[in-house]
């Protein structure tokens, strides 16, 4: 026997944008807003106790279209009840340079601040500690402990480094926009029990996004539930995206004979249009499995990373691109006459 104590609505990767991808033939912005409205209303109608969003609310750090910001705020106000908490974390698309230091200046943060001022309960999931949401159920207090890993972090190592552990009677939910490993990786099967002092506690649920095709739900041997329902957005005409069902999920916390446990229930976004109505017929079908980095790509990436690192070490807010070109040319031992030829094209003002 078991009773549902708490129902949590989860969806991820909205990729709000004022532009339509080249492979699509619909109004991508309006389609995105319609999906957001559907998910919010569905969670409210199904009496969810809270909503969690898994990152990449916007497709870029800054949306310059003010009317689009107003439209998304209107959609959320119309479909998100004032008493329904909306928790969110950031994805790499929400951030400038994929850095959490830029989150406060992001469009996503601006939208959430505006919603707070309009009476909606939006909460950033902390990347450093557990945020506790309490619910009174059947005469006892049930805690939902929320925390978010940064993108690209393997959760086990992150939790151990942050020394995060909650009491044994708390349901822990970690939101990880990007999992380093996929669902078949050994660490996911052998997820460690986290220990602080004499208290041992597993993570009950790890929710993720980023991987648009989704994965799971997967339950490991310690009882940790992993789930990514997939992106709300179709940004690429690929073999996987053409047939994929757009969906969100409910994470249901139960009270059973042996204590509290969680399960995931996926639900389709029924207003999502079929691929034939979304993608242009003449757009090429991309084979995602064939998109691999060559050794040359990896070297270019390494070179770029080293340049960015050196720029960061300079501790300057701005740099003349011609000065950067000159430095890089000298490092590469470019012939002096070739360098002089290039620098003659440097603007004088």
**CATH at 111:** 3.60.21.10
Whether residue 268 is found in the same domain as residue 154: yes
Whether 348 is covered by a domain: the verdict is: no
Check whether residue 214 and residue 313 sit in a common domain.
no
Q: 298 in a domain, yes or no? A: yes
pLDDT by residue for the chain (349 residues), tens only, comes to 346 788 999 999 999 999 898 889 999 999 999 999 999 999 999 999 999 999 999 998 888 888 999 999 999 999 999 999 999 999 989 998 878 888 999 999 999 999 999 999 999 998 777 777 887 776 667 778 888 887 666 666 666 666 555 445 667 888 988 876 544 343 333 333 333 334 445 678 889 998 888 887 887 666 778 889 999 999 888 888 888 999 999 999 877 666 677 889 999 999 999 988 999 999 888 876 655 545 554 454 445 556 556 666 666 566 677 777 777 777 777 777 777 777 777 776 5
Residue 349 lies in a domain: no
CA distance 55 to 52: 9
Pick the closest to residue 214 from 8, 16, 7, 11 (CA basis).
Answer: 11
Q: Are residues 99 and 158 in the same domain?
A: yes
CA quadruple 35, 41, 46, 49: dihedral, nearest 10: 100
pTM of the model: 0.78
Q: Is there a single domain that holds both residue 282 and residue 300?
A: no
Please check whether residues 209 and 319 belong to one and the same domain: no
Alpha-carbon radius of gyration of the chain: 23
Q: Is residue 187 part of a domain?
A: yes
Both 270 and 307 in one domain: the answer is no
Residue 76 domain flag: yes
Is the domain of 155 the same as that of 280? yes
Choose one of 272, 288, 304: the last residue of a domain.
Answer: 288
* 267 and 281, same domain (yes or no): yes
Q: Domain containing 198: what range?
A: 2-288
Q: Which of 271, 288, 305 delimits the end of a domain?
A: 288
Q: How many domains does the chain have?
A: 2
d(CA 148, CA 146): 7
Same domain, 35 and 73: yes
Residues 225 and 277 in one domain: yes
Please name the residue that has the structure tokens 């310059």.
64
């Amino acid at each position: 026997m078991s009773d549902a104590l708490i129902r949590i609505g989860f969806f991820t990767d909205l990729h709000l944008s004022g532009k339509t991808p080249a492979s699509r033939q619909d109004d991508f912005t309006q389609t995105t807003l319609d999906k957001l409205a559907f998910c919010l209303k569905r969670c409210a109608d199904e009496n969810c106790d809270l909503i969690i969003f898994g990152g990449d609310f916007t497709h870029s750090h800054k949306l310059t279209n003010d009317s689009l910001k107003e439209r998304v705020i209107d959609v959320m106000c119309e479909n998100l009840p004032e008493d329904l908490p909306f928790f969110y974390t950031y994805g790499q698309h929400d951030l400038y340079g994929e850095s959490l230091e830029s989150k406060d200046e992001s469009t996503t943060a601006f939208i959430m601040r505006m919603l707070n001022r309009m009476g909606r309960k939006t909460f950033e999931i902390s990347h450093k500690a557990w945020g506790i949401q309490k619910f009174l159920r059947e005469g006892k207090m049930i805690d939902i402990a929320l925390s978010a890993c940064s993108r690209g972090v393997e959760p086990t190592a992150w939790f151990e480094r942050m020394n995060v552990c909650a009491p044994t009677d708390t349901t822990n939910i970690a939101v990880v926009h990007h999992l380093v490993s996929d669902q078949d990786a050994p660490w996911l099967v052998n997820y460690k029990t986290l220990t602080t002092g004499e208290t041992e506690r597993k993570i009950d649920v790890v929710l993720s996004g980023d991987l648009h095709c989704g994965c799971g739900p997967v339950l490991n041997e310690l009882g940790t539930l992993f789930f990514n329902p997939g992106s709300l957005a179709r940004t690429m005409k690929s073999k996987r995206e053409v047939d994929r069902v757009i969906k969100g999920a409910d994470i249901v916390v139960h009270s059973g004979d042996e204590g509290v446990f969680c399960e995931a229930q996926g639900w389709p976004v029924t207003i999502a249009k079929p691929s034939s109505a979304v993608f242009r017929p003449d757009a090429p079908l991309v084979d995602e499995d064939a998109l691999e980095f060559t050794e040359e790509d990896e070297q270019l990436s390494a070179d770029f990373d080293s340049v960015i690192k050196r720029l960061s070490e300079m501790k300057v807010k701005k740099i003349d691109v011609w000065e950067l070109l000159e430095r890089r040319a000298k490092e590469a031992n470019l012939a002096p006459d070739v360098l002089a030829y290039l620098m003659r094209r440097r603007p004088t003002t």
